[in-house]
């Protein structure tokens, strides 16, 4: 219910954007030619419709389908303006570098840009108010330890789920005063609370098997239109990660059904090869320039090789452009031992041009050949060095589950968790996003991750 509501909101925004762009083209024709000219419309409509579709993709890359923007009008304006400027560049490239329609519009294109900027932004403002007014906030009942309520309340408040905690039943711990949340007296008040508090979602912070009374109440609720989630599911929906402290072997057995993913892995491998071969050949043009600048700015080899842990926990050799000084580059001398990569902006081990390559992801171009060999995929958990995997497995045995799928050049963790992975704890946080990807992986999710990666690279975020 929660996820479907989120999807509905995004579809409203997407369809509205497409309509707004068509309205902008209609007004552009009227303004440019002093009235609506059917002939001009027929000439321009096919090309500008393709541009509109490309612009919607650009909106996604810019982050304009993040529902959190609904509550932040200033951030919405800045993000929309950035997205539209990037889209203008895309349109110019489309018309002047790929002239398949034989059009080279100047006045019409810039009028279309101005109309789209104006109409699209005001549509977004109106859509935000519409969504906030028509999609009433779902009322949530929490059942679990009293001390856990605070975290659940923070989660839903900071998310764009459209949920508010209105009542709670403490199964353990001391209740505390909260000006908006009503504490209920015991499990026996569960069914009555569903009706009196108009509850649409129940979040369980405790296993029903441990409380027989709760099992009985939950059974009765099956006959009501109430969405029942466990603590891990609400955090997954709110943040796009799976909290490690709320999952167990049983949870993984229920959610990680690898036999159902076999067809996906096979199809994904075909897609990887189809994309990797032309990509590898095209990027070869850049290799001489990268090699020359690297040699001029930092003595040492152009490429480095590192052992990484791949599919099934098997090691493989990863190739990349060297970005660190010789004495600290992986695979060469590391006097202080292997270290996690810190922020590329401040890491003193990275030479200046290497810093640029890190931020622009140029250092990872040779890994396309790892994709062709089958060591990597374009999307998946980033592979770690064996020296890092061992201590991570000691801290969290579930860490090995990220090796259920082929590692990737980019991944869900890379577009959602942009903090540098400088410690083991950072990598364990990243694991929460990796497990979300492994559970939910699909070709659509892969495509969305690739688009988000474009936005991350253009903003020079991450490490």
pLDDT at 360: 86
User: Which letter does DSSP use for residue 350 in this model?
Assistant: B
Report the relative pairing of strands 377-379 and 408-410 from DSSP bridges: parallel
State the pLDDT confidence band at 129, using cuts at 50, 70 and 90.
confident
> Which two tokens mark 431?
């694991």
Cβ neighbors of 33 (< 8 A, separation 6 or more) are 40
SS3 329: coil
- Separation of alpha carbons 406 and 276, rounded Å: 15
Percent of the chain, pLDDT > 90? 36
Interval 246-282: pLDDT, tens: 777 666 777 776 677 788 899 999 999 999 999 999 9
- Separation of alpha carbons 57 and 160, rounded Å: 21
SS3 343: coil
pLDDT at 290: 93
Kindly tell me the burial class for residue 350, based on how many C-beta atoms sit within 10 Å of its own C-beta (0-12, 13-18, 19 or more): buried
pLDDT at 422: 64
CATH superfamily of 138-239: Methylglyoxal synthase-like domain (3.40.50.1380)
Mean pLDDT score, 117-146: 85
pLDDT at 411: 93
Mean pLDDT score, 105-129: 91
Interval 368-403: pLDDT, tens: 999 999 999 999 999 998 988 888 888 887 888 889
Residue-range domain boundaries for the chain:
2-134, 138-239, 258-458
pLDDT at 333: 46
Q: Within 13 Å of residue 429, how many CA atoms lie on the same side as its CB? A: 13
Kindly tell me the burial class for residue 126, based on how many C-beta atoms sit within 10 Å of its own C-beta (0-12, 13-18, 19 or more): exposed
Mean pLDDT of the chain: 86
CA dihedral over 212, 214, 220, 223, signed as positive or negative: negative
State the pLDDT confidence band at 9, using cuts at 50, 70 and 90.
confident
Kindly tell me the burial class for residue 152, based on how many C-beta atoms sit within 10 Å of its own C-beta (0-12, 13-18, 19 or more): buried
State the pLDDT confidence band at 200, using cuts at 50, 70 and 90.
confident
pTM (two decimals): 0.83
- Separation of alpha carbons 170 and 193, rounded Å: 13
Report the relative pairing of strands 303-309 and 163-172 from DSSP bridges: unpaired
Interval 290-333: pLDDT, tens: 999 999 999 889 999 999 999 999 999 999 999 988 865 554 54
Q: Within 13 Å of residue 45, how many CA atoms lie on the same side as its CB? A: 10
Interval 413-462: pLDDT, tens: 999 887 766 677 788 888 899 989 988 889 999 999 999 998 888 877 76
> Which two tokens mark 430?
């990243």
């Amino acid at each position: 219910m929660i996820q479907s509501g989120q999807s509905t909101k995004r579809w409203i925004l997407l369809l509205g954007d497409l309509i707004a762009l068509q309205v902008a083209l209609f007004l552009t024709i009227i303004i440019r030619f002093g009235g609506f000219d059917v002939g001009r419309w027929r000439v321009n409509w096919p090309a500008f419709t393709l541009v509109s579709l490309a612009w919607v993709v650009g909106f996604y890359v810019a982050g304009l389908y993040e529902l959190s923007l609904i509550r932040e009008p200033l951030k919405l304006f800045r993000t929309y303006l950035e997205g539209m400027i990037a889209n203008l560049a895309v349109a110019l490239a489309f018309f002047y570098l790929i002239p398949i329609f034989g059009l080279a519009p100047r006045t019409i294109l810039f009028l279309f840009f101005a109309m789209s900027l104006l109409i699209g932004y005001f549509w977004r403002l109106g859509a935000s108010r519409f969504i906030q007014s028509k999609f009433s906030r779902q009322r949530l009942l929490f059942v679990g330890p009293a001390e856990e309520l605070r975290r659940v309340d923070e989660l839903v408040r900071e998310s764009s789920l459209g949920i508010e905690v209105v009542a709670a039943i403490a199964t353990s711990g001391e209740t505390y005063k909260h000006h908006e949340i009503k504490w209920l007296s015991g499990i026996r008040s569960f069914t009555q609370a569903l009706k009196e508090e108009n509850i649409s979602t129940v979040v369980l912070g405790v296993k029903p098997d441990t409380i027989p009374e709760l099992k009985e109440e939950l059974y009765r609720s099956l006959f009501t239109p109430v969405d029942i989630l466990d603590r891990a599911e609400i955090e997954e929906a709110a943040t796009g990660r799976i909290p490690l402290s709320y999952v167990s072997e049983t949870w993984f057995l229920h959610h990680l059904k690898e036999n159902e993913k076999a067809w996906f892995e096979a199809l994904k491998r075909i897609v990887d090869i189809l994309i990797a071969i032309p990509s590898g050949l095209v990027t070869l043009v850049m290799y001489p320039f990268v090699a020359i600048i690297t040699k001029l700015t930092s003595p040492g080899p152009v490429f480095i090789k590192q052992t990484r842990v791949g599919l099934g926990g098997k090691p493989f050799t990863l190739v990349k452009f060297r970005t660190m000084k010789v004495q600290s580059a992986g695979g060469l001398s590391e006097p202080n031992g292997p270290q996690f990569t810190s922020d590329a902006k401040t890491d003193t081990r990275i030479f200046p041009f290497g810093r640029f390559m890190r931020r622009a992801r140029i250092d990872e171009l040779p890994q396309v050949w790892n994709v062709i060999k089958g060591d990597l995929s374009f999307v998946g958990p980033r592979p770690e060095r064996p020296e890092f995997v061992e201590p991570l497995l000691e801290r969290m045995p579930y860490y090995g589950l990220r090796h259920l799928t082929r590692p990737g050049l980019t991944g869900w963790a890379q577009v959602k968790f942009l903090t540098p992975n400088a410690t083991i704890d950072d990598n364990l946080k990243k694991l929460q996003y990796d497990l979300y990807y492994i559970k939910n992986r699909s070709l659509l999710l892969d495509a969305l991750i690739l688009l988000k990666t474009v936005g991350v690279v253009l903003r020079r975020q991450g490490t």
